[in-house]
Structures are given as structure tokens and as C-alpha cells.
Amino acid sequence: MTPTEPSVPGEAVQGVDDGDDVEYEEVTVPVLVVGAGAAGARTAIALEQNGVEPLVIGKRDHGDAHTTWAAGGINAALGSLDEEDDWTIHAADTYDEGHFLNDPDAVELVAEHMPDRIRELDEWGMPFDRTDDGKINQRYFGAQSFRRTCFVGDRTGEAILETLVGKAQELDIPYRDNVMITRLLSDGSRVYGAAGYDMADGHFVVFTAEHVVLAAGGFSALYNRHSSRDEENNGDGPALAYEAGASLLDTEFVQFHPTGMVQNPDWDEEWGGRLVTEAVRGEGGRLFNADGERFMERYSPDQMELDARDVVARAIAQEVRESRGTPNGGVYLDISHRERAFIQKRLPRMYERFQRLGVDMATEPVEVAPTAHYTMGGVDIDFNTGETGIEGLYAVGETVAGVHGANRLGGNSLAETVAIGKLVGEHVARQVTSETPTLPDGMRALAQREFRALEALEASDGDVTPVEIHETFGRLLWDHAGILRDEVGLRAGLERLQDLRERTADLRVDGDRTSLAFEYAVDLSFMFTVGEAILRGALEREESRGAHFREDFPEKSDEWRKNVLVRRGDTGMELSTRGVGDPSPEVQAALDEGYELDYHHLE
């Protein structure tokens, strides 16, 4: 994936005119990979290694993907420090954390394959932290029975992406940056390619492809306090699949990471919600309320700060609600009992970030509060193949649902990208034929309609800006589908969402197709689709499980051990449910053993 001039396989035709004054570039490829983070990169590597040259496209400059924001680590049962750990226990912990809504194939494929994927990354040059005897080091992460999380300080995601990009460059995999896909070209049963625009100069592009792999991330940035950049993770991957005819799964499950940065009045506002990696707690960080109480002793005396993310996030929210929070609406995270040299070595990014903001982690606590961080819901796929049910369309990474169930183990997101990315790439490579894909007339007409709609969007001259809609939308979801939910709030959220949709009729886009304002305007349709799915899924699920907490249904219900599916119907969004499969006998045996993190090893 070379970061210089794009190398595009197949046919590239500049300036195609459809007769209605809409010009576009046309590119023909066997496989189009939409998304250039770890999942897209690993899928592309598998395709290339199996004789198929894909084209990878990303919305940002080369190497600038959301993967780089995953700091703390990647899980694999290597047993570097705890020899008794194995893949079945990793799978058992994943099931436990997911409250048994996980896809069994998804969980067990990731857990079983990850030791090999870590060794592979090591062979490709990833600079893992090492133990004194040279093994890949591993740290504790929340709700895991053993030290299983491999890491590169607190920049693990960045190191993974650098390693994968380096391997892709070695293989000369074509890459094209600054391209945004706005619609998949699908007739509801098969996908034929994608339509979008070049964000650098604004020209339209049609990609004709035999197969399309969506690796475009999740939707945590729909919330006003989140750990993503504002212009990323706005739901384009799941929304594109939904509009193409695929089903979404469990969209109600949004993970609120316990420790986002609390906005300090003295800081630039961009820091609000930025992640304070779980590695701080994994290395012994402690949580205190404004009264100086180590409050996790009340909520989780055994696992303390390293209990599951949903447990810790709700505990913090409760402390703030009951007036034991900080003046800025959070709690304190303190690792000052560790030596400065230890913090600088194990948490260099966190240490340097807070130093720049005038906070010394080695001598004082930092303020934190929950922040929308990861979305367990997404596209419904077959994890052995990546298939979505729409012929030719596949998905991988945070765009999909299934591995994490109702809540995600920290360190499993990066694991999913490389474990499943490889499998999906290998499967898609076997499906590629020798025929050059062509675009049916109906799909070409669909692309033309899409481009005319984008032209009309660019010309919008109303009174409401896309940024205003984004901000209002983010508050709406936080208020109505945040950490604590109920029927009244969810129904009110749906009503407010409809009102907000209507406001877009008065949209004003201050800029051409190369502007951030236009990108934000394009995002709105994705956001409305996925936001509605979150609210409707949360309303449908009348129980509390994992990251989904209904104050009017505060208990977990055996009757709700099922997934909620969302599909586009003739009259709007349609919801249904289906049962969940069971663990394999060997993983069930690990579950029966009842392995559990002993937090006090850290004391």
C-alpha cells in the first residue's frame, strides 16, 4: 500500500460522462477493500498472498487510520508470564465478558488463531515489549483471567498498523487514500462495486468490483463524548451495508470506556473524551472519588479497577450522579504510587500527553469519566467467510458484530482485526474468478443518481450547518441511549431524531466537495441510519446485559439471550431476533473451571 502515487489495478477511465453532465472516474478491480486500518490491511495482505491483487481505499492519508488510537494491547494466549493460559480460557473470558451473546465461531476463531497471528506480527517486525528472558511481554487487562495482553508500551495499535502497512508495501499492494465511499452499488441481493468521491479534488469515482470488503470501522463517534476523531467512526461501514441489503446485529451494544479524559477548562476542548488507556489500570492505576474513597471496593471488591468495562463505567457514572464526582464531572485515576521511570517506560504516550497539559501522572491523579469508545454491534456476517448475505459483499473489523457480544474485552478489538482479516482475505481470494467485472446499466444509473444527490448536497444553502446537526445528534444519543437507558428516554430519542432529520432540509454546506463541511454533510445519512438502529435496538431489548443497561429492566433475562437483527424493510427499519449458539465442548470445559482475574496480584 504505497503512500505515494496510487497504483490501481484493472481499468481506470477518466472523465466518463453519463449524458446528464455528471462526469466521473471509473476503476475496475477484482476486490475493493473499503477501509485501510488493521482489518482492511490484514485482509488485503491475505488476498495478495493468495494470488489476488486488491485495491485498498481509505478516507485519510496513508497510515492514518483509527487503529492508531488503540493503545493498550492485543490479546493472545501465549503464556509468556502465565503458562496455564490457553486459547480456550481466552475464549471463555470473551464469552463471560460478552454475556454469552457472542457468535461461537467468532469467539473461538479469534482465540485459537491469535497466538499464531502474534508470532506472525513479530516475524514481520512488530517491536513488542519483551520480558527479561526475551519473550513477548504480556500485561493484565480488565476481566481477563491471566496476563494475556501483548503490547508496545501504550502505542500498540500504531505499531500494529505500521507493521501491517510495511508488509503491504513489501507486497506492493495498491492503495488509494482520501477517497470516501458514499454508496455501495447493490440491487439488494448482489453488490457490483461502490460510488464515492475523491476528497482531495472532489471528482466522483465509480469502482466496479467482483467483491467488496467493508472494513470501515464502527460508530462510537455518534456520541458527543467519544474517544474517536469527530470525522471518523460515524457509522459509514454499517450504514453502507444496511443500505445494500445486509442485516445489522446488536446495534444497542455500545461500549463506554470507563476512562476518557475529563475536559479541563484550561485545556483545548479537543481533549474531552480522549481515551486514557486501560493500560493505566492494567499497570496498577487506582480510581478515587472526590471524597478520596477508592470506590471500586463497593462495586467490585475482587476485581476492583480491572473489572469489566461496563461495570467500571457504570460505577463511575453512579459516583458522579450521587455527587461524589470531581468539579468537572468525573473521578480521579491515580498511578502516582508507581515509580516515575516505570510510568515513563510502560505508559509513555499517556505520561507525555498529560505532561504537555501540565499534569504530572507520577505525582498527581488525572480526571476521567466514561466515553463512547467501541461498538460491539455492526454488520451480521459468517465469521468463517466474512459473507454478509449479499453476494459479493463481505465485512470485517469493527464494522461487524459477533466477537464481543454484549461487551468487549480490552485487547480483543485488535485481535479480531488480524485474526478474522486473514481468514476473510483467504476466503475472498478463493471466490475471485478470471473474468473482468462489469457494471450493469441499473447499477450505473444508481451511481449517477448518487452523484447528482451529492451535487445537490454540495449546493445546499439553508441556515443549519452540518456541524450543528452533528453536535445536536451527539447530545441526543448521549442523553437518550447513553450508559443508563429507559423506555421513556429511548422513545423521546426517536422523536428527537425524526425532528433532527427534518432539520436537514434546511442544511447549509459552506464549502465544496473537498471541505470538511461537505464530509460532515455526507456523514449525516450514515449517522441517522445507525442512530435509529441504536435507539430501536435498545428499546427492543427489555433487559440489562453488558454495555446495555435499562433502568426499567435492570436485570439480565434468560429469555433475552438472543441477538437483535435490524434490516431495511419496505416501510422502514425492521427488527427481529434469533437465538445464540453455544460454546464448543473444550471452551465449555474452560468456562466450567471458573477462571478469574485475581486483581490483588497487582497490589
Tell me what the pLDDT averaged over the chain comes to.
92
Q: What is the model's pLDDT at position 68?
A: 63
pLDDT digits (tens, 9 = 90+) for 166-178: 999 999 999 999 9
Q: Are strands 149-150 and 74-75 parallel, antiparallel or unpaired?
A: antiparallel
Q: What is the model's pLDDT at position 70?
A: 72
Catalytic residues: 257, 281
Within 10 A of 337 (CB to CB), how many other CB atoms are there?
A: 9
- Can you tell me the mean pLDDT for 499-505? 95
The confidence band for 119, taking pLDDT boundaries of 50, 70 and 90, is very high
pLDDT digits (tens, 9 = 90+) for 335-356: 999 999 999 999 998 999 999 9
Higher pLDDT, 231 or 220: 220
Measure CA of the first residue to CA of the last residue in the chain; give whole Å: 45
pLDDT at 502 over 70: yes
Taking CA atoms, 128 is separated from 43, 135, 471, 507, in Å, by: 22, 9, 39, 48
Q: What is the model's pLDDT at position 440?
A: 97
pLDDT at 603 over 50: no
Q: Do residues 392 and 370 lie in contact, with contact meaning Cβ atoms separated by under 8 Å?
A: no
pLDDT at 6 over 50: no
> Residue type for 450, please?
E
- Can you tell me the mean pLDDT for 543-561? 96
The confidence band for 66, taking pLDDT boundaries of 50, 70 and 90, is low
- Can you tell me the mean pLDDT for 512-531? 97
Q: What is the model's pLDDT at position 495?
A: 98
Q: Do residues 264 and 416 lie in contact, with contact meaning Cβ atoms separated by under 8 Å?
A: no
pLDDT digits (tens, 9 = 90+) for 376-414: 999 999 999 999 999 999 999 999 999 999 999 889 999
The confidence band for 69, taking pLDDT boundaries of 50, 70 and 90, is low
Higher pLDDT, 17 or 580: 580
CA dihedral sign, ordered 202, 203, 206, 211: negative
pTM, full prediction: 0.92
Strand order in the sheet with 331-334: 254-261, 366-375, 331-334, 286-288
Q: What is the model's pLDDT at position 339?
A: 95
Helix axes 487-503, 466-480, angle to 10 degrees: 170
Strand order in the sheet with 138-139: 74-75, 149-150, 138-139
pLDDT at 264 over 90: no
pLDDT at 271 over 80: no
Q: What is the model's pLDDT at position 599?
A: 53
The span from the CA of 49 to the CA of 43, in Å, is 10
Q: Do residues 42 and 402 lie in contact, with contact meaning Cβ atoms separated by under 8 Å?
A: no
Q: Which residues contact 416 (CB under 8 A, 6 or more apart)?
A: 39, 106, 110, 397, 398, 403, 404
Q: Which residues of 583-593 are buried (b: 16+ CB within 10 A; e: fewer)?
A: bbeebeebbee
Q: What is the model's pLDDT at position 249?
A: 98
Q: Which of 389, 400, 256, 392 is nearest to 316 (CA)?
A: 256
